[in-house]
Amino acid sequence: KFLFVCFPQAKYISQCIDEIKQELKQDNIAVKANAVCKLTYLQMLGYDISWAAFNIIEVMSASKFTFKRIGYLAASQCFHEGTDVIMLTTNQIRKDLSSPNQYDTGVALTGLSCFVTPDLARDLANDIMTLMSHTKPYIRKKAVLIMYKVFLKYPESLRPAFPRLKEKLEDPDPGVQSAAVNVICELARRNPKNYLSLAPLFFKLMTSSTNNWVLIKIIKLFGALTPLEPRLGKKLIEPLTNLIHSTSAMSLLYECVNTVIAVSMTWSFFQLCVQKLRILIEDSDQNLKYLGLLAMSKILKTHPKSVQSHKDLILQCLDDKDESIRLRALDLLYGMVSKKNLMEIVKKLMIHVDKAEGTTYRDELLTKIIDICSQSNYQYITNFEWYISILVELTRLEGTRHGHLIAAQMLDVAIRVKAIRKFAVSQMAMLLDNAHLIASNTQRNGICEVLYAAAWICGEFSEHLEEANQTLEAMLRPKVTTLPGHIQAVYVQNMVKLYASILQQKEQSGEKEAAQEITQLMIERLPQFVQSADLEVQERASCILQLIKYIQKLQIKEVPVAEEVIALFAGELNPVAPKAQKKVPVPEGLDLDAWINEPPSDSESEDEKPKTIFHDEEQRHSRHRQPEIDEEELARRREARKQEQANNPFYIKSSPSPQKRYQDTPGVEHIPVVQIDLSVPLKVPGMPMSDQYVKLEEERRHKQKLEKDKKKKKQKKEKRGKHHRHNSLHTESEEDIAPAHHVDIITEEMPENALPSDEDDKDPNDPYKALDIDLDKPLADSEKLPVQRHRNVETLKSPDSEAPLVEKKSKKPKKKEKKHKEKERDKGKKKEKEKKVIEEEEEKKVILQDLHYKSSKHKKKKHKKEKEEKSKDKKKSKKKSHHSEEETTESVQNGTLDDEPLPVSSCALAALALGEGRSQTTYDIQGNLQNDSQVTVSVIFENKSTSFLKSMELNVLDSLNTKMLRPEGSSVHDGIPVPFQLPPGISNEAQFVFTLQSIVMAQKLKGTLSFIVKNDEGSTHEKLDFKLHFSCASYLITTPCYSDAFAKLLESGDLHMSSIKVDGISISFQHLLAKICFHHHFSVVERVDSCASMYSRSIQGHHVCLLVKKGENSVSIDGKCNDSTLLSNLLDEMKETLSKC
């Protein structure tokens, strides 16, 4: 039948394809089906068969099951969302779904599960939903399973289909039941919070089911739910323990253990799991061993202690013959090291490095060694000489790709651990001397990266070099020119540093001839670099050659030059965190040096050391200021610092951050510095030295312990020393192992307000995100139809009810949250404002005033940045001074915030403070994105009196343009009842919808709130007048716009233009832009110096473009907009805002 499969040669296959094409042209469906079947096979072999898509559909629609089956198989194998004929299948599939033959239906469902597209999902969701209640379980289970795919493609179907899906959890057929469990488990894993209400049902299933497949899914589901509902954890203990003890299925056991790890339950339970894992790891089955280790590594993150007790087992796994198991064990080691065992573990690993066959595993070992040693800022390294020797030993690895890693470590340690520099330099000099060993083999060029580090370290810290001449000569060898360009460049640069220090040395000791000799050497050897093909090397070398020639001239004239040459390399380089540069926020217009608050008056400042050139002072602000530090602590630290400085001969610059020291102190302070005896022969090339350090270290620790004991005794006798020492609770823990040196690990520097790099990084393309849908809400009728209605309309139709929110489902959770937040914010605000309100109580007048968003700083919610509306008020004169004051502080905040992209959602907000101390109202005008002629005004009523307010009715005098949306049948004079009553001190929110004809003009609507005040003395009917101000800016929606789109818009030529100029502007441009963004809902498109382009859009789709230019004392704004009236009104509003600046 398919003989060609045995020898699929290209020629033969192209022949076959020709044949198939012929067959497809025939009318006989059987021949066609056979051809399609062959194509399916060819597709698997990697041939493109998309040209036959239409033929596949033909075969799919055959009436006979035989052919249909083949057609669907072919479709499921080769159709995807890009297949354009796929939409032709909709009706055929629908027909097959409703076929009386269950196998027709089954085959259609199976096929659909592979190629369902959003369109198919939308069109067929209802059909499939019906099939979930089919009489045949065979169909039911398929329909249930495929629903998951449908949900993914068409999230709107989830809510309508969910009740039925839930029913299927209790289906009489176990297959259907497990299908439903599968689907819900998958859904819940992604968005667990919506499925909490199903927990009891699943709990019942878990305790009753015996099907391991189902149990695994349910346990997984609980693993997702428990973090959200901790009470579940307790309930689960019993059934899980039973399962763990009773089950013989390893897969189930593994799932239980994994879940327990994920939700971290009680300690004893945890121990049980770790025990079980040990059994897994000890098992002879490689798979179980692997999984056991994998699970251990998860435990390690939460309970490192419980893993550490199994160190023996894990070290044993390092010897396993399976590489993947060894790698897992390596991962575990990372978390198991301590100061005590680091050397031992690394020694073991080094043995493995030697034994390892295959470069991948060896490279993995190498990276692990470095990871383990360097983790948390070299926390576990007590002896850096040892570490440097380890690194040097690692350079002897053949063919590793990770030379740069070793190099980076060498550099890092040499730069940041000052005390080690002398040793590091001597080792690096040795490496340079033996460079031929490292660089000889071209295959090993990965490792020659270490020469980069070696050359730099020797150059930079050349003052520690004992035989600088020799090293310089090593660097000038002709062999060097075979190294990669970037390494040669470093060589060239650093040999000058070396040269400079040799020169100085010789000059100081008066050996003029030796000094000239060395110059001569340089002049002789440098030309080989000048000839380099690498531009960088060439350029550096020729510069330096000229420099040295000049020096030679001076030397001949017997002018002392060393001081000047060495001045070329003065100053010290500080380590900067890799991301530091990226994290510097845009500082334009921001005076970073200005104090935001008054500088703290504590003694901190006197500790400041003279800054060296690269020291970033900003870091100090962020790290140093720790308000909790009490005087005692400070005194103690100062003491420690002094002591350290005294002991550190190389101490030249500012102290490390106190935070770091804070970690170090417990072991450091009371231990005298041990003078390490460097008797170990350092210059035996090719001999591993790290072992000797291990021994040395042991001796040292022993000695240290003895000394400490002595000291302790002394301390006791001393009866409390002069200093406040918190070390009285000394136990012989690993923390007591003091580093061999005063380890001064300089922390990497970061700018002050570094932006957090891990911002809520949810993938916007995550297909599961769309399924984050609240399922417990009652299902609205509207939801079955794709017609989307907005909640505003609904709210109005039933104003008396508790205003159920019926809105576009997918938006629901977010919006609710937002509302909630808003309210919270408003409450905060109100507290601030309370005083003001009281002041005004006597006025008995309605005052509109600004509401200031102070909290935005705390709650940096990106999604929503409320825009404040500036409302104009005639009676404001009294308050004006107050206002402008507040505005300035507020715009400073905005200025920083505006660096973030501005969100689309915007609304205007102002506060409506109603006098009399009875009730305070905040309102919020929000453009309706779905409806271009409606705005929603959310009003928060707060009862600030001691009386009970009821029967509130809000009425607004409609204008021709702006009308309040009232229930059908009511007249314009009827007010809209507020759907709640207000007990004293309570606030609540109501929404009112207004329709607008035109948005080009600002509007003010007069309104009245009538209510009944009820107190002990009886009830009175009262009224409050207010004004609602709809400014033009409140119809704008902050819309981000890219500069190219913006340019196109301006070019289009159908925009009207208008401009304004405001004089007497004193605030900075940044503040000015922030003001426009904030009050008028614009976003900055581009900013060049004191000129910026801005953009916004109205709810009716008008584009508004601005060009803002700042002169000496004035600002000119050129605006372009589709509508000239809107533009001029907007500009007028802007003028008013700006003129208050």
Cα-based angle 513, 514, 517 (whole degrees, multiple of 5):
85
Q: Which residues within the stretch 243-282 sit at the binding site for another protein (CB under 8 A)?
A: 250-251, 254-255, 258
Please, which residue, 35 or 70, has the CB nearer to another protein?
70
How would you classify residue 484: left for phi > 0, otherwise alpha for psi between -120 and 50, otherwise beta?
Answer: beta
Q: Which residue has the tokens 């500790």?
A: 607
As a residue count, the chain comes to 1141
Binds another protein (CB under 8 A): choice among 30, 530, 590, 805: 30
Least CB distance from residue 398 to another protein, whole Å? 21
With binding defined as CB under 8 A, does residue 51 bind another protein? no
Stretch that binds another protein, among 179-187, 506-514, 718-726, 942-950 (CB under 8 A): 179-187
CA dist., res. 245 & res. 232, Å (int): 20
Which stretches does DSSP call E strand in 782-933? 847-849, 867-868, 907-913, 919-927
Give, in order, the Cα–Cα distances in Å from 862 to each of 109, 755, 766, 866, 960: 42, 14, 19, 10, 37
Binds another protein (CB under 8 A): choice among 7, 82, 533, 1053: 82
Binds another protein (CB under 8 A): choice among 22, 91, 101, 266: 101
Binds another protein (CB under 8 A): choice among 52, 216, 909, 1121: 216
With binding defined as CB under 8 A, does residue 286 bind another protein? yes
Burial label for 567, CB within 10 Å (0-12, 13-18, 19+), is: exposed
Coil, helix or strand for 589?
Answer: coil
Binds another protein (CB under 8 A): choice among 35, 97, 128, 146: 146
Residue count, binding to another protein (CB under 8 A): 70
With binding defined as CB under 8 A, does residue 283 bind another protein? no
With binding defined as CB under 8 A, does residue 211 bind another protein? yes
Report which residue type is found at 1066.
Answer: S
Please, which residue, 371 or 794, has the CB nearer to another protein?
371
- Is 875 within 8 Å of 845 (Cβ atoms)? yes
Instruction: Return the DSSP state at 747.
Output: P
Please, which residue, 220 or 867, has the CB nearer to another protein?
220
Least CB distance from residue 190 to another protein, whole Å? 10
- Is 1056 within 8 Å of 1123 (Cβ atoms)? yes
With binding defined as CB under 8 A, does residue 99 bind another protein? no
DSSP H/E element including 743? none
Start-to-end CA span in the chain (Å): 87
CA dist., res. 634 & res. 640, Å (int): 10
The residue among 782, 787, 805, 779 whose CA lies nearest residue 164 is 779
Binds another protein (CB under 8 A): choice among 89, 105, 178, 926: 178
Please, which residue, 327 or 425, has the CB nearer to another protein?
327
The residue among 1068, 1078, 1116 whose CA lies nearest residue 588 is 1068
The residue among 144, 136, 193 whose CA lies nearest residue 167 is 144
With binding defined as CB under 8 A, does residue 80 bind another protein? yes
With binding defined as CB under 8 A, does residue 119 bind another protein? no
Stretch that binds another protein, among 86-94, 142-150, 229-237, 779-787 (CB under 8 A): 142-150
Binds another protein (CB under 8 A): choice among 32, 140, 159, 220: 220
Burial label for 977, CB within 10 Å (0-12, 13-18, 19+), is: middle
Least CB distance from residue 64 to another protein, whole Å? 5
- Greatest alpha-carbon span in the chain: 112
Please, which residue, 138 or 980, has the CB nearer to another protein?
138
Instruction: Return the DSSP state at 510.
Output: T
Please, which residue, 127 or 958, has the CB nearer to another protein?
127
Please, which residue, 249 or 779, has the CB nearer to another protein?
249
β-sheet bridge partners, residue 340? none
With binding defined as CB under 8 A, does residue 756 bind another protein? no
How would you classify residue 1023: left for phi > 0, otherwise alpha for psi between -120 and 50, otherwise beta?
Answer: beta
With binding defined as CB under 8 A, does residue 106 bind another protein? yes
CA dist., res. 59 & res. 40, Å (int): 13
Phi, psi of 616 (to 5 degrees): -95, 110
**Chain-centre distance of CA 407, in angstroms?**
29
Q: 910 is written with which tokens? A: 């102002």
With binding defined as CB under 8 A, does residue 168 bind another protein? no
With binding defined as CB under 8 A, does residue 109 bind another protein? yes
Binds another protein (CB under 8 A): choice among 86, 105, 131, 141: 141
With binding defined as CB under 8 A, does residue 313 bind another protein? no
- Is 942 within 8 Å of 920 (Cβ atoms)? yes
Stretch that binds another protein, among 144-152, 378-386, 839-847, 1049-1057 (CB under 8 A): 144-152
With binding defined as CB under 8 A, does residue 334 bind another protein? no
Site string for another protein, 402-431 (x = CB under 8 A): ------------------------------
Please, which residue, 258 or 434, has the CB nearer to another protein?
258
Please, which residue, 175 or 585, has the CB nearer to another protein?
175
Least CB distance from residue 15 to another protein, whole Å? 20
With binding defined as CB under 8 A, does residue 329 bind another protein? no
Least CB distance from residue 1088 to another protein, whole Å? 42
With binding defined as CB under 8 A, does residue 839 bind another protein? no
With binding defined as CB under 8 A, does residue 464 bind another protein? no
The residue among 63, 42, 62, 65 whose CA lies nearest residue 52 is 42
Least CB distance from residue 103 to another protein, whole Å? 5
Binds another protein (CB under 8 A): choice among 17, 40, 273, 410: 40
Least CB distance from residue 53 to another protein, whole Å? 12
With binding defined as CB under 8 A, does residue 973 bind another protein? no
Binds another protein (CB under 8 A): choice among 114, 196, 592, 904: 114
Neighbouring residues of 890: CB distance < 8 A, sequence distance ≥ 6: 852, 853, 854
Binds another protein (CB under 8 A): choice among 50, 241, 275, 552: 50
- Is 406 within 8 Å of 394 (Cβ atoms)? yes
Secondary-structure breakdown of the chain: helix, strand, coil percentages, each rounded to the nearest 5: 55, 10, 30
Please, which residue, 114 or 671, has the CB nearer to another protein?
114
DSSP H/E element including 165? helix 158-167
Least CB distance from residue 762 to another protein, whole Å? 15
CA dist., res. 329 & res. 271, Å (int): 20
Least CB distance from residue 372 to another protein, whole Å? 20
Binds another protein (CB under 8 A): choice among 18, 48, 319, 800: 48
Binds another protein (CB under 8 A): choice among 134, 166, 189, 660: 189
Coil, helix or strand for 308?
Answer: helix
Give, in order, the Cα–Cα distances in Å from 106 to each of 73, 134, 889: 12, 12, 67
Contact residues for another protein, defined by CB under 8 A: 1-2, 5, 28, 30, 37, 40-41, 44-46, 48, 50, 64-66, 69-70, 73, 76-78, 80-82, 101, 103, 106-107, 109-110, 113-115, 138, 141-142, 145-146, 148-149, 174-175, 178-179, 182-183, 186, 189, 211-214, 216, 220, 250-251, 254-255, 258, 286-287, 289-291, 321-325
